[in-house]
């Protein structure tokens, strides 16, 4: 939902008359000016409305309008930051399961933290979802359930054939999730490879793996 960004970021314009549960920002491009992109987009929009798949839509008629549309997407992180504390989750699922994941994840989060505010956005083409949470209105945090939320969402994404570490990787913050949800064989193989190429443990210690072997080497 675009509410955090519209409420907290100035200078944004909402281009639609209706509100919906989800929004798609689509941009077409071509190497030839002879390709009727506007006609193609208009036909897609009309067909979607006729079939009941689309509630409302708008086409950018100028470069300024195009930029205004993209600001609604690009300012999402800033809008949520200004809304207060947040939990960020970088998740991916097969694109065909995005809607199912968003619906099920909302139930999971509501079950753990009632009235939690959810602001998922991302990339439809690769199934990447930035599943970000803001505490309930008036609350200072998530009631100490931050780790439970992360684990529950990670487990849901994993069972759907996705990942809890999409475009931003594991880093240090998701090592525990990897230990809990990835195959023990996979994790051990990563340790063996890490130890083989970095026996002294000086290359990004604690990133991806934080286990210390019997010789006290970070692997």
What's the whole-number mean pLDDT along residues 122-128?
Answer: 92
At 211, is the pLDDT very low, low, confident or very high (cuts 50, 70, 90)? Answer: low
> In percent, how much of the chain has pLDDT > 70?
95
User: pLDDT value at position 74?
Assistant: 93
Closest of 65, 55, 60 to residue 41, by C-alpha: 60
User: pLDDT value at position 1?
Assistant: 47
CATH architecture of the domain with range 84-159: 2-Layer Sandwich (3.30)
The ranges of the chain annotated as CATH 3.30.70.2740 are: 84-159
Whether pLDDT at 52 is above 60: yes
HEC assignment per residue over the chain: CCHHHHHHCCCCCCCCCCCCCCCCCCCCCCCCCCCCHHHHHHHHHHHHHHCCCCCCCCCCCCHHHHHHHHHHHHCHHHHHHHHCCCECCEEECCHHHHHHHHHHHHHHHHHHCCCCEEEEEEECCCCEEEEEEECCCCCCCCCCCHHHHHHHHHHHHHHCCCECCCCCCCCCCCHHHHHHHCCHHHHHHHHHHHHHHCCCCCCCCCCCCCCECCCCCEC
At 98, is the pLDDT very low, low, confident or very high (cuts 50, 70, 90)? Answer: very high
- Answer whether 217's CB lies under 8 Å from 195's CB: yes
User: pLDDT value at position 212?
Assistant: 59
């Amino acid at each position: 939902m675009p509410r955090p960004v519209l409420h907290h970021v100035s200078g944004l314009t909402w281009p639609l008359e209706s509100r919906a549960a989800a929004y798609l920002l689509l941009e077409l491009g071509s190497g030839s000016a002879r390709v009727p992109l506007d006609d193609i987009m208009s036909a897609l929009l009309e067909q979607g409305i006729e079939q009941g798949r689309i509630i409302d839509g708008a086409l950018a008629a100028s470069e300024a309008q195009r930029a205004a549309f993209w600001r609604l997407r690009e300012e999402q992180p800033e809008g949520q930051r200004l809304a207060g504390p947040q939990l960020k989750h970088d998740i991916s699922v097969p694109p065909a399961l995005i809607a199912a994941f968003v619906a099920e994840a909302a139930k999971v989060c509501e079950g753990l933290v009632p009235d939690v505010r959810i602001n998922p956005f991302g990339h439809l083409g690769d199934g990447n979802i930035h599943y970000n949470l803001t505490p309930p209105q008036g609350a200072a945090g998530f009631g100490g359930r931050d780790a439970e939320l992360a684990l529950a969402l990670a487990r849901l994404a994993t069972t759907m054939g996705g990942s809890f570490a999409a475009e931003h990787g594991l880093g240090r913050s998701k090592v525990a999730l990897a230990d809990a949800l990835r195959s023990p064989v996979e994790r051990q193989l990563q340790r063996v490879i890490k130890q083989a190429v970095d026996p002294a443990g000086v290359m990004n210690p604690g990133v991806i793996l934080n286990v210390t072997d019997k010789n006290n080497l970070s692997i």
